[in-house]
Amino acid sequence: MGITPVDVSIILPVYNAAEWLDECLGSIKRQQDLGEEMTVELSIFNDSSKDDSLDILKSWKDILISVGIHVILSGHSNAEPKGVGYAKNEAVRQSSGRFLCFQDADDIMDPMRIKLQYQAALKHQNTIIGCKVTRIPKDSTIRYTRWCNGMTQKQLLTQVFTSHGPTVLMPTWFCPRQVYDKVGGFDERGKGIPEDLLFFHKFLELGGAVCRIDEYLLTYRYHPECTTHSVHRDTIWDIRITAIQKNIINQWKHFTIWNAGKEGRRFYRSLSTENRSKVKAFCDVDAKKIGKVYTYEECKESPKPKVPILHFSEASPPFIICVKLDLTGGGLERNIESLNLVEGEDYFYFS
């Protein structure tokens, strides 16, 4: 006899989360209007936690069942965890929901999260639905939090190549099961692999859409044990370089790199030979750089590639902007606006 599908499966991977699980599970228990509009299950995979996580999870099972949330709890007890990607995949595999609501064990749902995201998902097929977040501690990652909460719906697609990662934060994802099936699940290589970023880019390349509910529906915790800290910056850089070339630069005939400094030059050196040849200029605001020529001395080509450095007002679009957002006191944004450029057409951020 087959398993009767539910409307929503909450996907909860757990690894050494004892410190935060009571808050997390309590917030799931407090979800409003679940019985009226949808059936919900909680699918948990314990990735060989060495603390009291398993005992806490077991203690909550009957409590959650009492409010109508079916609980599926599994895991393994190997010497080492298999990683976030594996744990998420296992939690999805054992679930039956038509929609998947991803939750991190150290975060806290707003009581209206599932209801509002479920309603949005019914209207937006083939879409990852996110939401705004409240950060704790309050003063942690101020620029990052301002970025992820402040983007327009259009920028959720145009700013996917920045170093911040997915424009819709993974712990806020809510989507039809078909989204997960289309991508084929999360990368299972384990520690150091940004499984959410890889999933996100693959989904977009397959024609997927993203949407953010402009309500604060998740409290997003920052702490030293966050799995984000295990991912090396160079790994993320390589993924971003591959994505922006495949989806944007390969279709351009020429372009300008905005930033003749360290980040702009690194971006130039990271490009394929064909795409480096499309770079007509660097542009900048620094008078000490303008008018000079950058020579790629490390290149094995002969003659060495040379690229002029122009003032931004004399450069031609399209641009790849390698200047970090929200760090110039609004100067970068004013300069872009002065050229009447359209984001997503005339320029993309790689910052």
Angle at 231 between CA 229 and CA 234, to 5 degrees: 125
pLDDT above 70: percentage of residues in the chain: 97
Does residue 102 contact residue 121 with C-beta atoms inside 8 Å?
Answer: no
CB-CB neighbours of 93 under 10 Å: 11
Distances 58 to 44, 81, 200 between C-alpha atoms, Å: 11, 19, 32
What is the pLDDT, as a whole number, of residue 192?
87
Total number of residues shown for the chain: 351
Strand partners, 321: 258, 349
Question: For residue 106, what are the contacts with CB-CB under 8 A and spacing of at least 6?
Answer: 17, 19, 20, 24, 221, 223, 226
Which residue, 165, 39, 18, 184, is CA-closest to 101? Answer: 39
Which residue, 283, 276, 350, 293, is CA-closest to 317? Answer: 283
SS3 of residue 136 by DSSP: strand
What is the pLDDT, as a whole number, of residue 35?
67
* 36-73 pLDDT per residue, tens: 779 999 999 999 999 999 999 999 999 999 999 999 99
SS3 of residue 64 by DSSP: helix
Which residue, 323, 312, 327, 329, is CA-closest to 350? Answer: 323
What is the pLDDT, as a whole number, of residue 1?
41
CA distance 213 to 203: 19
Question: For residue 200, what are the contacts with CB-CB under 8 A and spacing of at least 6?
Answer: 128, 160, 165, 166, 168, 170
Angle at 72 between CA 71 and CA 78, to 5 degrees: 135
* 100-143 pLDDT per residue, tens: 999 999 999 999 999 999 999 999 999 999 999 999 998 888 99
Query: pLDDT tens track of the chain, all 351 residues?
Result: 456 789 999 999 999 999 999 999 999 999 998 767 799 999 999 999 999 999 999 999 999 999 999 999 999 999 899 999 999 999 999 999 999 999 999 999 999 999 999 999 999 999 999 999 999 998 888 999 999 999 999 999 999 999 999 999 999 999 999 999 999 999 999 888 999 999 999 999 999 999 999 999 999 999 876 655 568 889 999 999 999 999 999 999 999 999 999 999 999 999 999 999 999 999 999 999 999 999 999 999 899 999 999 999 999 999 999 999 888 888 999 999 999 999 999 999 999
Helix H or strand E segment including 1: none
What is the pLDDT, as a whole number, of residue 3?
62
What is the pLDDT, as a whole number, of residue 191?
83
User: How many helices (H) does the chain have, and how many strands (E)?
Assistant: 13, 14
What is the pLDDT, as a whole number, of residue 260?
97
Does residue 43 contact residue 91 with C-beta atoms inside 8 Å?
Answer: yes
| Tokens (6 digits) for 56 | 């806490």
Environment class of 194 (CB within 10 Å of its CB; exposed 0-12, middle 13-18, buried 19+): buried
SS3 of residue 126 by DSSP: coil
What is the pLDDT, as a whole number, of residue 5?
82
